[in-house]
Chains A and B, each alone.
Chain A
């Protein structure tokens, strides 16, 4: 991808995904005095995932501060700050907790520019740790991305590695549109390929953990082909990008893995180019299946690639149940399930 072309020329340091998020926030607080950060536990303490560690000490309480436990309050006040001219970056402690803010997100944030014909805008970024794999049970594991994708006027972004996390978060903060920035919490401290019984991996020595210390941004409408292949296309994002690659190793197939990075607006061209090449498509996400984002992707692929398709499009997703606790690895789409789908789409009709 062209956006990666200049990476080697810039000095980098190894960062975890959480550190990359913190670095993006640090860079933007430094660059733009209108950037403010707030959320539950993010001030003095630095956030439950440490993504704002030390930022209050560095930028002061007027710009980095703690918020009451009220998601609608956090988002609602951020809209007002955005309307004033600030660029608030707020944290919802877990994506599972955003529901009280839904009215503010749907009825106000997403539509402000439209309904006022550009008279008011609110360039708010809402960060939310998302997804499972941390034994968080039903209230710390959900993947609600489809809800945001369904709302006209929002951008929904989900990185899968530290380099993308920083570049995409900086682009989100600079965006004139409201952005839902979903951070796969299982990836904060290391990549995860879906094998929960293996030793924890670290981001150290991972190519995508080499992150420039300063400013850079990535486009908010470009997917990344993270693994090229000719047999089938796998569409994925967040934690599942790593699982999708691991699953390919269980097969003898030449799998092309696409990391969508920005769920909406979507880089449809990269997807269509790939599926037209391979003729086969598997969509993978942690979220529940019915009405999930995979359904939209399926519709788009069949609308645009129907005559190139050699097999039905398959989805590998979380089951249509609440996210269970002790049975996490029965719910989570593990490599074996993905590999079965890869093999299934290869069957001759």
Chain B
């Protein structure tokens, strides 16, 4: 018999009907909440199931339903809406050639927002793309972020980084970079350091489904397990890595949470579009880490509603209406529905909040543009490119800076 190579395909390509029958689902409220000291082996079903709290009517169900306070729900909705409005404006700013590049979080806002609420503000996050809700939840001003996006004179990173590759130590947000999986592992080292020093802080690392194929992903799981590092290892499975369907990263007939099981980690698979589930699972994992019980791997099932970045065109590789038929819906709509069901929110309030957020974002954008931007005015002092390569500028860079200045 001649062998054939299996190359996985997504269920649907442009022009075909969207099909999410491959997604393993589980009804809201069905998964019980285990004690935080449960052994990874006792939790093995959680790597294949799906922790969900909100049902299709927006009602919170089951044992994971009671963690989030009403105030936190309002706060989560606010940040998720802010993230989406901010993203839409900044995506547009790229189209207007005001900034060079942008990545938005549309469809995934619940995960980082809820986790930021479940963590302490001084816990350190090692983000990948699409976790800027962590910064917004922790109160970083919009203008601060926009100055980075515009690479203007007030950019804290002095124009050195692509837009959205923020760094914010004081807000527990590690320097973002465009290479993948490395920071997932670096977070484990930070968590190990916290344990070495007898600290109480924990870490939270982030990676997408696509980059789990990198060696550093598996290495991070191994180190986290070996040293019982106090960390939450987040895998955001948004189904797509640019044009690469999650099956190409190893998701076919398997879950990404299951990757943790073989390494001996507590591993959960959670509805990433359900803010209540996101909060409850994050809190469970954070409590576990803080109690010295070790790391937790969480696969967040979500959907990348927008293009990978401003340089991507998903209409070339997936059906246009895929998000509309995604069985886990839109995280903002679901939380909004939940609050309305509770009698704590209304369509009118939602609309008014939306308008107020847009105003807030536009005001910040106006201020950022008044300072300037790479796409408008060159506002960065060019000679700073030689700084911060070393703690103290060595002779060869002093010579090169002089060479550069003489050439001006």
* Chain A interfacial positions (CB closer than 8 Å to B): 36, 62-63, 68, 70, 72-73, 76-86, 88, 100, 103-104, 107-108, 111-121, 152-153, 155, 175-177, 221, 265-266, 268
- In the complex, are the beta carbons of B160 and A113 less than 8 A apart? no
Contacts of A70 in B (CB 8 A): 219, 222-223
- In the complex, are the beta carbons of A153 and B193 less than 8 A apart? no
Contacts of B250 in A (CB 8 A): none
Contacts of A121 in B (CB 8 A): 391
The residue that A113 contacts in the complex, of B189, B216, B388, B395, with Cβ under 8 A, is B388
| Residue B389 lies at the interface, judged by CB distance under 8 Å to chain A | yes
CA distance A176 to B390 in the complex (A): 8
Given contacts A72-B185, A265-B394, 5 further A-B contacts (CB under 8 A): A70-B223, A76-B220, A115-B177, A153-B389, A177-B390
Question: How far is the CB of A260 from the nearest CB of chain B, in Å?
Answer: 14
- Contact of A265 with B396 at beta-carbon distance under 8 Å, contacts A79-B189, A85-B193, A117-B388 already known: yes
| Residue B59 lies at the interface, judged by CB distance under 8 Å to chain A | no
Question: How far is the CB of A209 from the nearest CB of chain B, in Å?
Answer: 30
- In the complex, are the beta carbons of B169 and A265 less than 8 A apart? no
- In the complex, are the beta carbons of A221 and B394 less than 8 A apart? yes
- In the complex, are the beta carbons of B161 and A104 less than 8 A apart? no
CA distance A70 to B391 in the complex (A): 29
The proximity string for B residues 370-405 relative to A, scoring 1 for CB distances below 8 Å and 0 otherwise, is: 000000000000000000111100111000000000
Contacts of B390 in A (CB 8 A): 113, 153, 155, 177, 265
B396 and chain A: residue at smallest CB distance: A265
The residue that B177 contacts in the complex, of A72, A108, A175, with Cβ under 8 A, is A108
The residue that A76 contacts in the complex, of B161, B189, B203, B394, with Cβ under 8 A, is B189
Show 22 residue pairs from A and B whose CB-CB distance is below 8 angstroms, ordered by the A residue.
A36-B196, A68-B219, A68-B223, A73-B219, A76-B188, A76-B220, A77-B189, A80-B187, A83-B124, A104-B182, A107-B179, A108-B177, A108-B179, A108-B183, A113-B391, A116-B157, A120-B167, A152-B389, A153-B389, A175-B391, A176-B391, A268-B396
CA distance A33 to B163 in the complex (A): 38
- In the complex, are the beta carbons of A86 and B193 less than 8 A apart? yes
- In the complex, are the beta carbons of A108 and B219 less than 8 A apart? no
B interface residues, tally (CB under 8 Å): 44
* Chain B interfacial positions (CB closer than 8 Å to A): 124, 126, 156-158, 160-161, 165, 167-169, 174-175, 177, 179, 182-183, 185-194, 196-197, 203, 215-216, 219-220, 222-223, 226, 388-391, 394-396
CA distance A73 to B182 in the complex (A): 9
CA distance A100 to B182 in the complex (A): 12
Question: How far is the CB of B198 from the nearest CB of chain A, in Å?
Answer: 9
- Contact of A120 with B193 at beta-carbon distance under 8 Å, contacts A68-B226, A77-B185 already known: no
The residue that A80 contacts in the complex, of B156, B161, B168, B191, with Cβ under 8 A, is B191
Contacts of B190 in A (CB 8 A): 80-81, 83-84
- In the complex, are the beta carbons of A116 and B167 less than 8 A apart? yes
Contacts of B220 in A (CB 8 A): 73, 76
Question: How far is the CB of B144 from the nearest CB of chain A, in Å?
Answer: 12
- In the complex, are the beta carbons of A114 and B189 less than 8 A apart? no
- In the complex, are the beta carbons of B216 and A72 less than 8 A apart? yes
- Contact of A76 with B391 at beta-carbon distance under 8 Å, contacts A70-B219, A81-B192, A85-B193 already known: no
Question: How far is the CB of A346 from the nearest CB of chain B, in Å?
Answer: 31
Question: How far is the CB of A273 from the nearest CB of chain B, in Å?
Answer: 14
- In the complex, are the beta carbons of B389 and A120 less than 8 A apart? no
A100 and chain B: residue at smallest CB distance: B215
CA distance A152 to B390 in the complex (A): 9
- In the complex, are the beta carbons of B186 and A115 less than 8 A apart? no
- In the complex, are the beta carbons of B189 and A115 less than 8 A apart? no
The residue that A72 contacts in the complex, of B158, B165, B168, B219, with Cβ under 8 A, is B219
- In the complex, are the beta carbons of A117 and B158 less than 8 A apart? yes
Question: How far is the CB of B160 from the nearest CB of chain A, in Å?
Answer: 6
The residue that B175 contacts in the complex, of A63, A112, A265, with Cβ under 8 A, is A112
The residue that B169 contacts in the complex, of A62, A76, A120, A155, with Cβ under 8 A, is A120
- Contact of A73 with B222 at beta-carbon distance under 8 Å, contacts A103-B216, A107-B177 already known: yes
A85 and chain B: residue at smallest CB distance: B193
- In the complex, are the beta carbons of A79 and B186 less than 8 A apart? yes
Q: Which of A78, A82, A108, A116 has the most CB of B within 10 A?
A: A116
The residue that B179 contacts in the complex, of A68, A103, A177, A266, with Cβ under 8 A, is A103
Closest 7 CB pairs of A and B: A80-B189, A77-B189, A84-B193, A76-B185, A176-B391, A80-B190, A116-B167
The residue that B185 contacts in the complex, of A73, A114, A115, A120, with Cβ under 8 A, is A73
CA distance A153 to B393 in the complex (A): 10
B193 and chain A: residue at smallest CB distance: A84
- In the complex, are the beta carbons of B219 and A80 less than 8 A apart? no
- Contact of A83 with B388 at beta-carbon distance under 8 Å, contacts A70-B223, A119-B169 already known: no
CA distance A113 to B389 in the complex (A): 7
B196 and chain A: residue at smallest CB distance: A62
Contacts of B222 in A (CB 8 A): 68, 70, 73
- In the complex, are the beta carbons of B188 and A77 less than 8 A apart? yes
- Contact of A117 with B196 at beta-carbon distance under 8 Å, contacts A70-B223, A72-B185, A76-B182 already known: no
Contacts of B226 in A (CB 8 A): 68
- In the complex, are the beta carbons of A117 and B156 less than 8 A apart? yes
B203 and chain A: residue at smallest CB distance: A80
CA distance A111 to B157 in the complex (A): 13
- In the complex, are the beta carbons of B156 and A86 less than 8 A apart? no
CA distance A98 to B404 in the complex (A): 34
Contacts of B177 in A (CB 8 A): 107-108, 111, 115
Question: How far is the CB of A34 from the nearest CB of chain B, in Å?
Answer: 8
Question: How far is the CB of B224 from the nearest CB of chain A, in Å?
Answer: 9
Contacts of A72 in B (CB 8 A): 185, 215-216, 219
CA distance A168 to B247 in the complex (A): 50
- In the complex, are the beta carbons of A119 and B175 less than 8 A apart? yes
B190 and chain A: residue at smallest CB distance: A80
CA distance A178 to B366 in the complex (A): 40
- In the complex, are the beta carbons of B182 and A103 less than 8 A apart? yes
